[in-house]
Structure 1
Amino acid sequence: MRPLVLQADLDAAERMYEEGLLNDPVPLVTPLLGTVLPDPGPDGTLDQRLQRALTAALRTDGWTLNVQNERGVLHFRGETDVSGMVDLHRLHAALWPMDRHLLPGLLFALEVGSSRVTPIVGPHGASFICQQHFSTEALAEYTLPERFERPDLVLTERDAVRAARRFGIPHGQQVQDALPWPYFRDLLSLEDTLARLEQVLPRVPALGPLLTLLPELRAADDAFLQPTDDEWSDLFHDPIPHTLLTVTGREDDLSLDTVNEFLQNHWECGNVSPQWCVQVDRNGEGHDRLAAYLQHAPRIAALSAKCVGVLDLANRSLPAPKRKR
């Protein structure tokens, strides 16, 4: 007896065939080699050739570039490598009497310029992470009613934060509460920051390289091409810090504790955290954005690291602030 072939089986086989054609990497990768990427030569598998081309095209100090073929679209995702913390409490103490807005302006400019590749997170960025990690809405609707065993409790977000402060409950404003307000409000533009920096350089000359490094960092960040809506939705919009900059000089630094808790929760949940994504299809869409990314991402990482080095060196060159009695 001749077995029956069901239409559903035929449809499934056709879908598998079409899926195989769609996921074929050859028409995706081959047009990149020798154009957007260096020509790696003919030896090896296609994956090996792509890896050689990427290795030749860029250095990824401080970040990692991953490539995946997802339904006929190559996703190039850049993820930062978490490095550590740099304490700037001496620099904070030295600059505060001269210009209390200067160091917040410098750190904010560094945060903005580095955010797409190797995010450098200062107090402002740590506060943003804190607000994302400790949802004020959840605090008002769930945490406090459960804490006080009052399921009918209705609180505004402002009242919820006040209650959290009073009873020592973690909340989204705790980083701002622990640090001076100029790190979070009335932040200077880059131009105003540099103008003020010039005025204090005679007293803190070690900061001089930032006059050129920060404008170069902004120019490199501006050279990125805008992502598409699909690429934008592929990003992780909370900054994963490459380096955390603190200004307290204390071991019990609330910004450090908050960021560490955020990172621990992020990793335990198995989340991916690309800071930048480029999607390339077989029609050449994304080639220009990938070329810009490969050109400018390493420069942003290098300039960001240099800026952190300048701040760290300037901090180390200053005497320890006198302890208040």
Structure 2
Amino acid sequence: MRRLTQYAHGGGCACKIPPGELAEVVAGLRDAGGAPDGLVVGVGDDAAVVRVDTSGPQPLAVIATADFFTPVVDDPYTFGRIAATNALSDVYAMGGRPLVAVNLLGWPRDVLPLELAREVLRGGLDAARAAGCHVGGGHSIDDPEPKYGMAVTGVGDPDRLLRKDAAEPGTPITLTKPIGLGVLNNRHKRTGERFAEAEELMTTLNAEASAAALAAGARCATDVTGFGLLGHLHEVASASGVTAVLDAAAVPVLQAARASLAEGFVPGGSRRNLDWVRPHLDAGSVGEDELVLLADAQTSGGLLVAGELPGYPVVGEFVAREGSTTVRVRG
């Protein structure tokens, strides 16, 4: 069996450009003349949003995003499902509904059989079908590493978006999936051991969580992916001008992840996430291993919502900004 993860330098969302470096790259790359007419959300959120209809009884916005990465698991079909589920998640994180997607495929055609690429695309198609989202072709290139994802277009109500910059003091913080996926994916890459619970979580759409957030009247959310829980909390708190107080004991963690962390299976991206957040972090008495887990680079993680959602754990609250601290962790 060909192990896809052995043909890539990293895996899943852990292969993202580190957030600190990315911030420097995109600094100043906004429209110098201000946002174009109708652009509701641009750089800095999970997806771009454009208001396209203001005259009818139901306001309409188009939500556009793209996401792709190197293999996070060895099975090509499962890799396709995970990558597509992750790409679709950005639309759900904005409170929208995916409408149509196109494939983004990079493939080392002289190294890996194209039959494996077909299985990747089949997995992506099945994930999109589960979301009720059309798949209309896409684009492929000959690439030294296998990569796959989707560009997704969705629709939503421009007046009921879930945004990163809308958290308010006194609001609970809800997390809709356990963390630890990065640690287990790192172990899978290094040993070949499969974790069915991790694969199930990564192929679970955030559709229900998004609907629950909208039903609860939430206005702020993001999905937890490559920057880890601490990193995405920092993004939300920084954009909203608040501080996130995280109750570490309340954060759900995949059981096998703690044992794997103790054995040294940690993605480099998780440590980079922690280094990025640390200047804005009040860790209190929480130990380094726990902080690394809280910063673990997730792939197709859950939603982080400002608000309380029935059936999902509350892991902290947003409070008024405390100096330069954007995230405070309670042990």
Q: In terms of Rg, which structure is larger?
A: 1
Q: Which structure shows the higher strand fraction?
A: 2
TM-score between the two structures when normalised by the length of structure 2: 0.24
Q: Which has the higher contact order (CA 8 A, sep 6+)?
A: 1
Structure holding more helix per residue: 1
TM-score by length of 1: 0.25
